[in-house]
């Protein structure tokens, strides 16, 4: 049962990785446009040459998932994170924002704190693998930006996540 759930998760993960490539490119020059249109398109096709697109195709998955009310990096996420480490080290010119999210089964303020814990847990993992902490920022959205809607564990499991967003701006 546990195995089956995991395989479903992996499948879902792969699908989402294909469906949601550069969801958002947050950069110094671009912040206003991005946030001022909360209703902007979600499924932007991957653009060759755009850092997020390069990151997504290189690492195959721009997000990792967490257990309910937990912020420990799961063993099944570590392979993906290792790929993130490689790419980030190879691209020191790019700043990465780690966006931490929670599912809707918690109160708003607690989930903001939990999202921050999830983003920070990934940051600590990356830094422990040799990524420069100056290249990473964290941002919690709590339960404010679910990836998918719907009531049920399948949806909630996809929303408990940390997403790596490659900024347009330069780290240098």
CB atoms within 10 A of CB 14: 12
CB atoms within 10 A of CB 85: 18
| Minimum CB distance to another protein smaller for 13 or for 111 | 111
CB of 26: closest distance to another protein in angstroms? 6
Using CB under 8 A as the criterion, what x/- string covers residues 81-120 for binding another protein? -----------------------xxxxxxx-xxx-xx-xx
b/e for 98-117, b at 16 or more Cβ within 10 A?
bbbbbbbebeeeebbbbbbb
CB of 29: closest distance to another protein in angstroms? 12
| Minimum CB distance to another protein smaller for 36 or for 49 | 36
In angstroms, the Cα distances linking 136 to 24, 62, 94, 110, 146 are 16, 15, 9, 23, 22
Residues that bind another protein (CB under 8 A): 26, 31-32, 34-36, 38-40, 42, 69, 104-110, 112-114, 116-117, 119-121, 123-124, 138-140, 144-151, 155
């Amino acid at each position: 049962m546990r195995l089956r759930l995991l395989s479903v998760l992996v499948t879902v993960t792969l699908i989402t990785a294909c469906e949601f490539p550069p969801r958002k490119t947050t950069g110094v020059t671009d912040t206003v446009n991005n946030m001022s249109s909360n209703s902007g398109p979600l499924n932007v096709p991957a653009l060759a040459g755009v850092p997020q697109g390069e990151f997504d195709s290189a690492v195959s998955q721009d997000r990792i998932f967490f257990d309910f009310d937990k912020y420990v990096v799961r063993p099944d996420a570590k392979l993906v994170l290792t790929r993130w480490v490689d790419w980030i080290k190879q691209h020191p010119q790019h700043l990465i924002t780690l966006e931490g999210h929670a599912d809707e089964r918690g109160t708003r303020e607690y989930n903001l704190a939990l999202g921050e814990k999830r983003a920070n847990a990934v940051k600590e993992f990356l830094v422990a693998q040799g990524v420069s902490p100056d290249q990473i920022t964290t941002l919690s959205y709590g339960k404010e930006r679910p990836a998918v809607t719907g009531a049920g564990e399948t949806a909630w499991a996809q929303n408990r996540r940390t997403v790596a967003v490659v900024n347009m701006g330069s780290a240098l």
